[in-house]
Structure 1
Amino acid sequence: MPYRVRISDINYGGHVSNAAVLSFFQDGRIGYLQQLGPFSEMDLGGCGIILPEANVQYKAEMFLGEELQIGVRIEELRRSSFIMGYRIERQGEVTAEGTTALVAFDYQERKVRRLPGAFREAVAAFEKLPQE
């Protein structure tokens, strides 16, 4: 998905902040889920997701007004969780990459759930991933 760097993304160093990159990941994740089907972070078909871990590797600075491309894919499906991979590029140059571990979570019951079947099937078909 395309993204133009805004002033609120910039830190005291004059480039995109660490927090903004995690927001870029979330924007990409939301877009991915919407493209995949009738899914959102709060509803994968009976439960939401919670993020216990995020990893980012910064490759190049990003600046105000730059046009970025945010790529997202699900790299691995597990019983109650999945790993999403992200790549941010500027005119073909990788500026940041990372992953997030996301766990199926029932916000009403406040506990981990199994990933819903319809979500697993949609991801497996889209990404051509094996299901556990």
Structure 2
Amino acid sequence: MARIKIDMPENYSFTTEIPVRISDINYAGHLSNDSVLSIVHEARLRYLNSHNYTEQDIEGSGIIMTDSVIVYKAESFYGDLIQIDITVGDFNKYGCDIYYLLSNKKTAVEIAHVKTGIVFFDYTEGKVVTVPEGFKDRIIKVV
């Protein structure tokens, strides 16, 4: 079976830290795969908030996650502090990709490479819309 690879960016425009909670641990005693998605969701909200956005209001549009990819690099355990570095790229007409580099804050060991695809969405009309120019301009200036 072919391995999935994510071409991770060299530079990131935002960093946050999230501790591994006991509820994030699976039966094998390490960070569970569903918790990785929850952690990047929290990190994405913090990233958007740093630009005064929410998932429901980015220049008047909301977002929907269209896909996600996780490539695991190392285990993480209860009590670890995960550093999440985030950047945005690969813009298209309707969306972009968000990249997340998860590392152990103490040891700098990479835990996971994550990419989520998003599209912009008008919840009132119930349809996909183009990337708001204000968002694109703001994000590209930071990256």
After TM superposition, the score normalised by the length of structure 2 is 0.84
Aligned to 2:108: 92
Aligned to 1:118: 134
- 1:80 is aligned to 2:91: no
Amino acid at match of 1:7: I
Cα deviation, residue 11, structure 1: 1.1
Give the alignment of 1:36-51 within 5 angstroms. 37-51=51-65
Give the alignment of 1:19-58 within 5 angstroms. 19-35=34-50, 37-58=51-72
1:104-132 per-residue CA deviation (whole Å, 9 max, x = no partner) reads: 011121110011121111011111xxxxx
- 1:106 is aligned to 2:114: no
Amino acid at match of 1:80: Y
Aligned-residue identity in percent: 35
The CA distance in 2 between the partners of 1:118 and 1:97, in whole Å, is 28
**What residue ranges of structure 1 are gaps of 5+ in the alignment?**
128-132
The CA distance in 1 between the partners of 2:94 and 2:85, in whole Å, is 23
Amino acid at match of 1:113: V
1:16-61 per-residue CA deviation (whole Å, 9 max, x = no partner) reads: 11110011111111111112x2211111111100011000000111
- 4+ residue stretches of structure 1 with deviation over 3 A? none
After TM superposition, the score normalised by the length of structure 1 is 0.91
Cα deviation, residue 75, structure 1: 2.1
Count of residues in correspondence between the two structures: 126
User: What value does the CA root-mean-square deviation take over the aligned residues?
Assistant: 1.0
